[in-house]
Structures are given as C-alpha cells and as structure tokens.
Structure 1
Amino acid sequence: MVATTTLPVSKRQIGGVCLGNAIEFYDFVTYAYFAAQIGRTFFPSDTPGLSLLASLATFGVGFLTRPLGAILLGRFADRAGRKPAMLVSFALMGFASLALPLIPSYAAIGIAAPVLVVLCRLIQGFAVGGEVGAATAFLMEAAPINRRGLYTSLQAMSADISALTAGMIGLILSSVMSDAALDAWGWRIALLLGAAIIPVGLLLRRTLVETLHPTAEAADDVPPGISYRRVAIAGVCLVAAATTTNYLLKYMTTYASSTLGMSTQLAFGATVVVGLCGAICAPLAGALSDRIGRRPVMLTPWILLALAVFPCFELLEHQRSAAALYLACAILATASTFASSVFFVVIAESLPQRVRSGALGLIYALAVSVFGGSAQFLVAWLTQLTGSPMTPAWYMIGGVIVGLVAMFALPETAPVKHARTALPDGTPA
C-alpha cells in the first residue's frame, strides 16, 4: 500500500519551497539568457563567436558539480531531513548568486575575473544538484495521495516562473538600455534582482515542517513490482531528453540574436513565451496526471513535440520574424513542459522514501550534467561549424527520440491507475 502524509503542511510552506526553487533556477538560467553579454564582459575576443562559446562553456561548468551536490546534499536529505538540506542548498546558491554579478570585468582585473565566474558557477551547480532531489521529495511527500502529480509539478512550475521572470526582466532591460549599457552593467542588474529576494526565501524555508519519516510503512511507499535499476536507467534517459529540450528552449534567446540576427529586444521575448507556457502547462499536466494517469500525459504531448520540431525550426529559418519565433517557442514549450513536468512525479513515486532525495537528485544531476550542460555549447559550436540554422532541430529531435523510448520503460505510478488506492477515510483515490 502506498503511504500517505498526514503532516500539516500549509500553503505558505509549499510556497516557500517553490519560491526557493524558483530563486535558485532564476539565478542559474539568467546566466544563459545573458550569455552573450557575460561572454563579452569576462571572455573578450576578436574572433567572432569565441566569447559566446567561452561563456556557454562556463555555463556548462556549472553542471559539473551537480552530481556531487546530488550525492552529498541528497544523502544528507535522506538522513537528516528535507528541510536542512534545502536550507543548505539555498544558502550556497544565495552566496554564489550575489557574488557573480559583483565580479569586476576582465578589463579591470584580468584572468581573475573568469576564474571567479567559474568558481561561482561551480557553487551554483552544487547547490542546484542538491536542491532538486530534496525539493521534489518534499513536495511529493507533503501531498495528499490523489494530488501528488499536482504538488510535484509545482517544482517544474516554479522553475518555469523563474524563466518567465528572467525573460521579462531581460526584455525590459533590453528595451530601455542600449546594447553597450546592457553589456556593461545591465546583465548585472538582472542577477542582483534575483539575489535581492534570497532573504525572503530563506525565511520561508525556515518555517518548513519535515516530511522525512523513515517508518516501516514509509520505507515501502512505492507500487509493488518495480525494478529500481530499470527506473534509474530509464529515469536518466528521460531527464536527459527533457533537459536537452528545456535548455535548447532557453537557448532560443541567444539563437535568435546570434544565429537569426534578430534584435536583442525581440529575442528576449522568446524567453517570456517559453516561461509563460511552462508556468501554465506544468500544473495542468500534474493535475491531469492525477486523474487519468502519468503515462498518457507524458506520451501524447511528447509525440506531438517530435512531430513539431522540424516544422517550427523551418518556419524560423524562412521567416526570421518575431511572430515566427514566438509561435515556434509556444508550440515547443507547451508540448515539452506538458510531458516533462510529469517525469519527476513518476521517478519520485518509483523510489522508496529512504533513498528518494539522493537517488532522484543523482538521476537528475547525471542526466543534466552530461546532456543539459553541454547542449547549448554544442549547438552553438555545431551551428558555427555547419552554418545551418537547423542544427538545434536535429539536436532536439535526438533527445525527443531518447525520451520517447524511455517512457515505455517506466511503470504507471499514479494511484488512480494503480489498484485504486484508498485514502485514509476509506474513499477511493
């Protein structure tokens, strides 16, 4: 029987987890949105495109320490509790996120500037690696059994809200500032705005209750007959596919300006579209998966995504307009988010509580470190090498195919589809 939580978890506490998660991802993805400006600040070069590649490589460095954060903080969360692990990860992210925008440029302090940027990215990666497993485990364990999909999808929703917020800030800054001012200090404002909210998130997280209760019942709170090895392998493939698509969508701002030659202001509009679609679709997908099951909510939009990738990028290549960019981003982001927001629910429900945070965090970190961290750099490099603006489409479709195969290897874990598990009062879930 699947265990349920009887803990008095308030909406404010759920909000605290989501806000903290949003702030952590805001600081992480804002770097990607301002990759071109950060590249010119810390990695100046006379060779066209080289500073961007150096900046994207540094973005990828942040993924190297994610597995380490997942192992250390994830194990800490499985032993000491979800709350202390989330407080540690949040504090580390806060320190690095405040320090990065205060680093002087390469012109001011030379090689020390990029070294300090890399150090901040390593700390951020470590923090995010520990955050995902603990936060996802908390949300699932705090949820009523028939609303696990909805609660867990809030993790994806908060990350999408952070992307939306970062995109809107980038759009506003690019509208009121010149390109020179944006390069000089505009991107620093965007990062500092995220750092300014860190005390609020830290205060909210200190009020959290603890959802880790390693009782005999909680230790066996997964559907019977599940192979953990199969879940781990399929989970890595599934998250790899999702993160490849996700970070390529976040790359659309850089792609629109650097490859398609669109203005910075129009390019930042793409991030707003992607973030808005994700913020809306994630909770809808989670709630729907509670009613009809996880598998149909994953499979249907993912198949639609596979069919839409090439038409969307072909539209962009031929039109190169704001309308084409925003339409393509909306279609791809809607299909991707609707499916991927349910991935973590399935993986979390397939793992026992005693190892849930660490295992989930490690699955996520390994997949993201190998595939997510390299996606933007490889696409930018391959685009320069081939000269083809269709390069992101080929890269994305590869990830979509891997994800589609992995979906069939994962079990159906939704209680509504799994033996109609009863609620504590005896009513069916």
Structure 2
Amino acid sequence: MNPNPAWHDTGKAVGSAIVGHWLELFDFIIYGYFAVQIGIAMFPQADPVTTILSSFATYAVGFVMRPVGSMVLGSMGDRFGRKSALVLTMMLMAGATCATGLIPTYNAIGLLAPALLVVCRLMQGFAAGGEWGGATTFLVEHAPANRRGLFGALQQLGTSLAVTSAALVALTLNTILSPEDLQAWGWRVPFVAGILIAPLGLYLRNRVPETALFRAERELPEHPLREALTLHRRTVLTIAGIVVIWTVAGYTYGTFLVSFASQVLEVPSRYALLGTLTGALCNIAVIPLAGWASDRVGRKPFLLTSAAGFAVCSIPLFTIMAQARSGISVIAATAVAGVFSGLFSGTAPTYLCELLPTRVRYTALSVGYNGAVMLFGGSAPFIATLLVRITGTDIAPSFYVTAAAVLSFTVIACVRAPDPAKAIDR
C-alpha cells in the first residue's frame, strides 16, 4: 500500500507532464532542424535564401492554428478536465508528424507536396495550441503550495529536453549520413519514428488522476473562452506581452540559427546543431535552479533579468557570430542565450498560472501564450531570414530579438506580481 498517495499522484503528474510535453514538442520542433532539406524536397528549387524562406513560411503556417487549438482544446480542458484535452493533443500531434515524413517530394507529385506539408503543419499547430497551456496548468495545479515554482520549472524541462533530443537526432543524422542520403531520405526518419514513441506518452497521461483543484470546482464554466476573453481579457493580453521575448528568443536562437549559421554564415551544420545543443543544455541546467529560487525570492526578478539580458546582449552576440563566422562563436552565442532563456523558463510557467483563476486557467493561459507564439515566435525564423535579405546585414535578426525583449521587459515591469500563497487556490 502506498504510504503517501498524494505524493504518488504528484510524482506521476510530474512524469507524465515532462514525458508527454517532450514527445509533443520533439515532434513539433524537429521540422526546424531539417528546414533546408524539407525546403529542397518540397518546393521548386531556387537560390538558398529563397528555399529557406519557403520552408520557414510553411513552418510559420503551423503557428497560425495554435490560437485555434488553444481556444478549442483549452475550453475542452476547462469544461471536461485537463487529462482528456492533453490525450487528444498527443494523438493529433503524433499522426500529423508521421504523415509529414511520408509526403512525396515536389519532383514526384508537384504542388501537392507543399500543400500536404501545409495540412500537416496546420494539424500540428492545432495540437500544439492545447499542449503547453494544458501541461503547465496540469502540473502547477498538482504541485505542493510551497513548491509551485520548482514544479512549473520541471514542466518546462520537457521543452528543453525536446530541443536537446531533436538537436541530438539532427546532429547524429548529419554526422553519419552523407549530404545526399540526408536529403534523399534521412530527414524523414525522425518524423516517422515519432509515431513509435507516442504510445508511451498516452499511457502515462491516462494513468494520472485529474487535478484536485479542477475536481473541487463547484460550477464549471459553460463558455470558458467567452469568460477568458471578457472577464480576463486584460490578463490574457498581459500574458501575451510577457512571453513575446520568450518565444522570439527561443525560435531565433534555437530553430532559426541552425539554418542561418549553415546557409548565411557558412558554418558547417554540425557546429550549428552543436551550438543549439549547447544552448539547450545551459537552459536545462538553469531552469530548475531558477524555479527553486523563485519559491524563495519571487518570480519577477528572474523574468526581468532574462528580458534585460536579451535586450542588451543580442546585437553583440550576432555581431560576434557575423564577424567570426566560426562554430565556436555560434556555440558561445547559443550558450549565453540558453542561460537567459533558462531564467525565464524556470519561472514563467508558474508565474503565468498564478495570474489566473482555476475555472478558466487552461483556456486563458493557452490563448495568451499561443497568441504571442503565433504573432511573434512562429514567424521569427521567417522574419529573421527576411531581415537579412532586405537589409543585407547579417546581424539584422538581433534587431527583432532586442525589440521583443524591450516590449516584454516593459510589460513585466508594469504587472503587479500575484501573491503565490493565494494565487493558484482560487
């Protein structure tokens, strides 16, 4: 007999949130690491920058559906339970990812290839729209009152582990396969393989009980989305403003930098991927420390430090990379970005949950977060590439990151921090 069933349930919640989140985000992120190969396979061939633009434009399409997914799946989570929505997101993500790896090339089926790719990205985006907010809500609501910062940080480890594992897979394939084999079939392997590990995530999520806070709600909302966008509209907009730098920096230093370093800076792909891996490892090291410390000194100082760091350091980091054009400079830049991102990732999940009541937390959190991801993060690789092309300046992507950092710093500074002792239990 389990001597402490509450802690046993909490442990299962942590495991299911991290593993499930990792599986879904791995499926969603892997596209960015093979954007060059996908662009060549699925679009008419042109100059390298145009090919990358086409691929990243399709990448951004997936983010258009994220707010839609957040509204539908978030409302489902607030009305019928967090578990049911999270299980559905995983099924949709796994199916769309596998299908992406099976699409024939443009040379084989013409314009149907990019059309099918867009459909798969739309489905992935819909699923991702319900994943982050649901997993965050689920874990923070399961956490002990005095450990919510740490538990929210552990949830975000799923994202960093997804980036790390995706980078490792991409690095391994780039190392063991010739460029010809990688282009012909190698890039498809992680997409098809994603369907094989999805059952593990589904198994774990099905075995975790619903959160006590959700079960304690006496009257569930009939229209969570309407309530979130009327009674809590200002909070939803605040959440979007807070996470702008988080999503822009993540997709710029993570996804975009791999193609940018190899195609524009002419740094070998393996070094670009190694840089992404280094940044993710720095992120993983900082996240739990920031979450743990936030339970003692508050969340807001870490968020402000992160935004200020990106605002001050992004232009110098891109300048160093543009001048050095070396693997070492890329690795150093992503390591610094990984530390700043870790400060944000370790505290933001719990901080954002504390801004919202239980009855519409899943919906409002998902809508605010995914709205920012769609407008600023998902388009970051495309905007960054376009800035390089328009300005002719290799450091142009840093201007976008700096502007995002200033915006988020301003919003965070103006928000009155909630009382952690009372925020969640309402």
TM value normalised by structure 2: 0.91
Partner of 1:45: 45
- Amino acid across the alignment from 1:29: I
Alignment of 1:35-114 (within 5 A): 35-114=35-114
Partner of 1:223: none
Q: Which runs of 5+ in 2 are unaligned?
A: 222-230
Give 1:195 shift. 2.8
Partner of 1:335: 340
Alignment of 1:227-376 (within 5 A): 228-250=232-254, 251-376=256-381
Cα distance between partner residues in 2 of 1:94 and 1:229: 32
Cα distance between partner residues in 1 of 2:48 and 2:307: 36
CA contact (8 A) 1:160 1:279 kept: yes
- Amino acid across the alignment from 1:171: L
Moved more, 82-91 or 259-268: 259-268
Moved more, 68-77 or 47-56: 47-56
DSSP 3-state at the match of 1:49: helix
- Amino acid across the alignment from 2:31: Y
Q: Any idea what the Cα deviations from partners look like across 1:235-271, whole Å, max 9, x if unmatched?
A: 1111122111111011111111011011111111122
Cα distance between partner residues in 2 of 1:162 and 1:239: 19
Q: Any idea what the Cα deviations from partners look like across 1:206-249, whole Å, max 9, x if unmatched?
A: 10100122436999xxxxxxx94442222111112211111101
2:392 matches 1:392: no
Partner of 1:215: 217
Cα distance between partner residues in 2 of 1:84 and 1:63: 22
Partner of 1:196: 196
Give 1:75 shift. 0.4
Cα distance between partner residues in 2 of 1:90 and 1:264: 30
Cα distance between partner residues in 2 of 1:11 and 1:208: 9
Moved more, 391-400 or 402-411: 402-411
Cα distance between partner residues in 2 of 1:218 and 1:111: 46
Cα distance between partner residues in 2 of 1:123 and 1:185: 23
Residue identity over aligned pairs, in percent, reads 37
Cα distance between partner residues in 2 of 1:329 and 1:137: 29
CA contact (8 A) 1:62 1:124 kept: yes
- Amino acid across the alignment from 2:156: A
Cα distance between partner residues in 1 of 2:195 and 2:413: 41
Give 1:405 shift. 0.4
Q: Which runs of 5+ in 1 are unaligned?
A: 220-226, 424-429
Give 1:132 shift. 1.6
CA contact (8 A) 2:78 2:359 kept: yes
DSSP 3-state at the match of 1:249: helix
DSSP 3-state at the match of 2:400: helix
CA contact (8 A) 2:171 2:270 kept: yes
- Amino acid across the alignment from 1:47: D
Cα distance between partner residues in 2 of 1:324 and 1:158: 27
DSSP 3-state at the match of 2:101: helix
Q: Any idea what the Cα deviations from partners look like across 1:345-387, whole Å, max 9, x if unmatched?
A: 2121110000000010000111111111211101111111222
Alpha-carbon RMSD across the aligned residues, in angstroms, is: 2.2
CA contact (8 A) 2:61 2:118 kept: yes
Cα distance between partner residues in 2 of 1:60 and 1:377: 7
Partner of 2:226: none
Cα distance between partner residues in 1 of 2:388 and 2:371: 25
Give 1:337 shift. 2.4
- Amino acid across the alignment from 2:55: S
Cα distance between partner residues in 1 of 2:124 and 2:134: 16
DSSP 3-state at the match of 1:234: helix
- Amino acid across the alignment from 1:169: V
Of Structure 1 and Structure 2, the greater helix share is in: 2
Cα distance between partner residues in 2 of 1:414 and 1:321: 46
TM value normalised by structure 1: 0.91
Cα distance between partner residues in 2 of 1:147 and 1:106: 51
Q: Any idea what the Cα deviations from partners look like across 1:171-203, whole Å, max 9, x if unmatched?
A: 111111111211111111122333321111111
Q: Any idea what the Cα deviations from partners look like across 1:43-73, whole Å, max 9, x if unmatched?
A: 1323342221111000000011111111111
Distance 1:381 1:341, change over 3 A: same
Cα distance between partner residues in 1 of 2:185 and 2:419: 48
DSSP 3-state at the match of 2:261: helix
CA contact (8 A) 2:244 2:405 kept: no
- Amino acid across the alignment from 1:313: F
DSSP 3-state at the match of 1:408: helix
- Amino acid across the alignment from 1:238: I
Cα distance between partner residues in 1 of 2:220 and 2:304: 29
CA contact (8 A) 1:245 1:336 kept: yes
CA contact (8 A) 1:298 1:342 kept: yes
- Amino acid across the alignment from 1:345: T
Cα distance between partner residues in 1 of 2:49 and 2:411: 35
Alignment of 1:179-194 (within 5 A): 179-194=179-194
Partner of 2:224: none
Partner of 2:13: 13
- Amino acid across the alignment from 1:403: S
- Amino acid across the alignment from 1:249: Y
Partner of 1:222: none
